[in-house]
Amino acid sequence: MELNKRTYLSAFTILGLAMCLYSGLQLVGAYVYVLASDWISGLEAGGFRWLSGLFASPLTRVPVQYLFVLGIPSLLVYLSVCWLPASGGTRKKVPASAIAAALVMAMGFGYVFNFTGTIINFGISLATGKSALEMNPVTEMLSMLEPGMILYVCLIGPFMEEVMFRGVFLRRARRFGDRTAILYTAVLFGMMHGNLTQFLYATAIGLILGYLAVSSNGIRYCVLVHVLINSYSTYLTLWSLFLENMGTSLFTALFSFGVLAAVALFIAGAVWFFVSQGVFWWRELRARERTFGPGFRYVWKNPGFFLFAVISLLEMVSYFL
- Per-residue model confidence as pLDDT tens digits over 95-135: 999 999 999 999 999 999 999 998 998 888 888 777 776 77
| Rg for the chain, CA atoms, rounded | 21
Low-confidence ranges of the chain (pLDDT < 50): none
At residue 44, the pLDDT reads 62
Q: Which parts of 127-221 are beta strand (E)?
A: none
At residue 141, the pLDDT reads 66
Q: How far apart are CA 18 and CA 232, in angstroms?
A: 31
At residue 191, the pLDDT reads 95
Q: How far apart are CA 257 and CA 260, in angstroms?
A: 5
Q: How far apart are CA 264 and CA 261, in angstroms?
A: 5
Write the DSSP assignment of 34-94 as a string of letters. Answer: HHHHHHHHSGGGGGGGGGHHHHH-TTTHHHHHHIIIIIHHHHHHHHHHTTS-----S----
Residue 2 — φ and ψ, nearest 5°?
Answer: -70, 135
